[in-house]
């Protein structure tokens, strides 16, 4: 049964956003995709969707930093999935102003517009990086916050703004907190595409940063499904909710798994330029998914091995999007 609810996805041109657009279409939503305006008329990853899907999507090109544009985009929608953000941690070290403008001010613009328009549901995208290095595991939603990079600090600020609008104005907000997401279309600034793209160029030395940190990796289709399940449940209003597998793997183990699938002869080289400052590195992330399972019907459908295989196959067919010979920030 199709529900014909209209959803706006900010950051629809990005990695997770483009997958969420596809998932919403499959669930019967009318979708408006908010993409970053640019003179190339590029809609990011939305451009690569099949024509039959593109024909079902309404495109709105704008900038979340602009309050009037955000208001215009949100005028006729029932639900807003706010994913637009700057997310690269190394870039946040030298350009923190842009992170404040996009991640905090952009979120404020969405919240203000939702308040004026009476939007029926708002999902604000957080990140597991707000927790910093785990003080206990699995990390549940009561774990303390720690701004270990300008990026994570701005996401903490955006989350707290969202909480304040729920508490102050009774806005129907959920804060969605995905742990590390991977899959087709992810840029090489993330570790999994970095490893895969280097291996697919035939390299025998794979350049990485620290190998000891652990991460809890979600396959992107599971993450997108998590957003939709959270939006479907009224129990999630006013809540902060992890999307996590509750399993962890170190970067070194991850690299060896991918190497074994592509080129078992390859070796890992630790490159100093890729290391985060010591106090900024998040050493352990292992998320609890008890809350999302309790409040929704979500569960991860993909194993890590399945997700990696689909990701390798996609990158293999799309190497033109990757600059494997440089350090991607």
Residue 162: give its domain's CATH number.
Answer: 3.40.50.720
- Of the listed ranges 11-20, 218-227, 264-273, 309-318, the least confidently predicted one is 264-273
Confidence grade of residue 1 (pLDDT, cut at 50, 70, 90): very low
**188 located within any domain:** no
Domain residue limits at 60: 6-183+218-246+283-302
**133 located within any domain:** yes
Average pLDDT over residues 305-312: 94
Average pLDDT over residues 17-29: 97
Residue tagged 């962890």 (tokens): 248
**257 located within any domain:** no
| pLDDT > 90? residue 152 | yes
Cβ atoms of 179 and 218 within 8 Å: the answer is: yes
Q: How far apart are CA 312 and CA 318, in angstroms?
A: 10
Q: Return the pLDDT at 328.
A: 52
| pLDDT > 50? residue 56 | yes
**328 located within any domain:** no
Residue 199 burial by Cβ neighbours in a 10 Å radius (0-12, 13-18, 19+): buried
The pTM of the full predicted model, rounded to 2 decimals, is 0.94
246: region left, alpha or beta (phi > 0 left; psi from -120 to 50 alpha): left
Percent of the chain with pLDDT over 70: 97
| pLDDT > 90? residue 189 | no
The structural domain count of the chain equals: 1
| pLDDT > 60? residue 2 | no
Confidence grade of residue 313 (pLDDT, cut at 50, 70, 90): very high
**314 located within any domain:** no
**205 located within any domain:** no
- Of the listed ranges 138-152, 208-222, 230-244, the least confidently predicted one is 208-222
Confidence grade of residue 325 (pLDDT, cut at 50, 70, 90): low
**321 located within any domain:** no
Average pLDDT over residues 13-21: 98
Average pLDDT over residues 205-215: 88
> Which residues lie below 8 Å from residue 18, measured CB to CB, with a gap of 6+?
12, 44, 45, 46, 48, 49, 185
| pLDDT > 60? residue 29 | yes
**325 located within any domain:** no
Confidence grade of residue 269 (pLDDT, cut at 50, 70, 90): confident
247: region left, alpha or beta (phi > 0 left; psi from -120 to 50 alpha): beta
Q: Return the pLDDT at 323.
A: 77
């Amino acid at each position: 049964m199709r529900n014909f609810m209209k959803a706006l996805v900010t950051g629809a041109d990005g990695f997770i956003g483009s997958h969420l657009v596809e998932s919403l279409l499959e669930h019967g939503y009318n979708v408006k995709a908010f993409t970053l305006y640019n003179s190339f008329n590029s809609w990011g990853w939305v451009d690569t969707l099949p024509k039959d899907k593109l024909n079902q999507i309404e495109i709105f090109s704008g900038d979340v930093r602009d309050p009037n544009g955000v208001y215009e985009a949100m005028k006729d929608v029932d639900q807003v999935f706010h994913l637009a953000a700057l997310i690269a941690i190394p870039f946040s070290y030298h350009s923190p102003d842009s992170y404040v403008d996009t991640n905090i001010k952009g979120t404020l613009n969405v919240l203000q517009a939702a308040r004026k328009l009476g939007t029926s549901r708002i999902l604000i995208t957080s990140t597991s990086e707000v927790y910093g290095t785990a003080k206990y595991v699995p990390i549940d939603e009561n774990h303390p916050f720690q701004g270990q990079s300008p990026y994570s600090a701005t996401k903490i600020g955006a989350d707290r703004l969202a909480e304040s609008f729920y508490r102050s104005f009774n806005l129907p907000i959920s804060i969605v907190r995905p742990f590390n997401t991977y899959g087709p279309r992810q840029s090489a600034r993330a570790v999994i595409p970095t490893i895969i793209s280097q291996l697919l160029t035939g390299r025998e030395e794979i350049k990485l940063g620290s190998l000891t940190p652990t991460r809890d990796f979600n396959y992107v289709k599971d993450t997108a499904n998590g957003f939709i399940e959270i939006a479907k449940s009224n129990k999630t209003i006013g809540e902060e909710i992890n999307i996590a597998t509750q399993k962890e793997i170190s970067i070194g183990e991850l690299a060896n798994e991918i190497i074994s699938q592509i080129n078992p002869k390859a070796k890992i080289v630790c490159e100093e330029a890729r290391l985060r400052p010591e106090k900024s590195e998040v050493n352990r992330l292992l998320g609890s998914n008890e809350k999302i399972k309790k409040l929704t019907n979500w569960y991860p459908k993909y194993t890590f091995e399945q997700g990696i295989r689909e990701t390798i196959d996609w990158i293999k067919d799309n190497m033109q999007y990757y600059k494997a010979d440089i350090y991607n920030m």
